[in-house]
Amino acid sequence: MRRLLGHTLLVVVMSTYAAAAAAQSSNKSEYDSLIDSALNEYRLGHWIEAKAYFTQAHALQPNARTLRGLGLVCYELRKYVEAIGYFRQALVNPTRPLTSEMRGSVEHLLRDAERFVSRVELTITPKDAALAIDGRLVQRDDQGLILLDAGGHELTAEAPGYEAATRAITTDGGETIRINVALHATEPNVAEVALPAPAEPQPLAEPVAEAEDSDSVLPWVVVAASGAVMITGGVLLGVALADKAEIEDTQKGSATWSDVESAYNRVPVMSAVGAVMLGVGAAGVAVGLAWEFWPEDSHEHASTAELRVTPGGLILRAQL
């Protein structure tokens, strides 16, 4: 029983080892085939095809030598920024490291590639904005600079809450360019301000002013009209007194009576009308002056005036 169990375990282990060895052999065979194809295309100057084969080989077995091959192809394609990246990785990758001869050639090509690229010193606001050049995220070197191949490029900057900005960049290679980009906020910052409570609606000033103006003018209108009435009454009363004096010197039935008879008839009427107008006018003047000069706090009380004509004279009653 133990022998059967041990034999079974041995078969399982050997099967697993054989499968792993077969997979490794198959993987190695495919890798070697890709490397051979890449080197062949490289010798023919077919840089794009060579890069495709090196990329596939590196995906199967990442190592320093496939990185070197990718750097060589990019160098020939004049994609010096990519070549710099691959060369730097090849020099430090520990898997299948470069020989001294390979290392020397890579270092030489790396120095040349660094001379051919342009460096961009970019200042961006806000600082956390996402940057892309020609649709690819920006990669900065150890000094914080952006490396660009010679030619035209498009820089795009985006940040939440800001409008995206685009800049066109043209480089000749080997120079250093300084660019400042400030994004504009899409929503302005609104400061919170404590607003006062709405005030109670106030009455319009114009009607009040008109009322005050009318109140200040009306007493003088009363005084003027009353003064005119009083003057007219005084004139009538004076004419009546003059006629009365003339009549007293003439006897009824005399030769001159016909001349003063008309005056005799109008004396009573003119005397009564003149006295009434004189009294009314005087009362109106008194009321108007009192209205104008009476203290303001007493205006709240109603002002009344009454003039009565009696057989014994005039009676004026006023309450202000």
Report, as an integer, the average pLDDT of 102-126: 94
Question: By the 8 A CB rule, do 111 and 81 touch?
Answer: no
* pLDDT score at 82: 95
Residue 205 has pLDDT above 70, yes or no: no
| pTM of the shown model | 0.51
Domain ranges of the chain: 28-116, 117-186, 214-319
Distance CA(222)–CA(122), nearest Å, equals: 89
Both tokens of 69, joined, read 């091959």
Could you say which DSSP state residue 200 is in?
Answer: P
Q: Which residue has the tokens 């009434």?
A: 276
Distance CA(220)–CA(222), nearest Å, equals: 5
What CATH topology corresponds to 28-116?
1.25.40
Q: Which residue has the tokens 């606001």?
A: 125
Residue 65 has pLDDT above 80, yes or no: yes
* pLDDT score at 276: 78
- Between 250 and 223, name the one with better pLDDT: 223
Residue 28, helix vs strand vs coil: helix
Report, as an integer, the average pLDDT of 205-210: 51
Report, as an integer, the average pLDDT of 99-125: 95
According to CATH, the superfamily of the domain at 117-186 is: Carboxypeptidase-like, regulatory domain (2.60.40.1120)
* pLDDT score at 311: 52
Write the CB contacts of 102 (distance below 8 Å, at least 6 apart in sequence): 65, 68
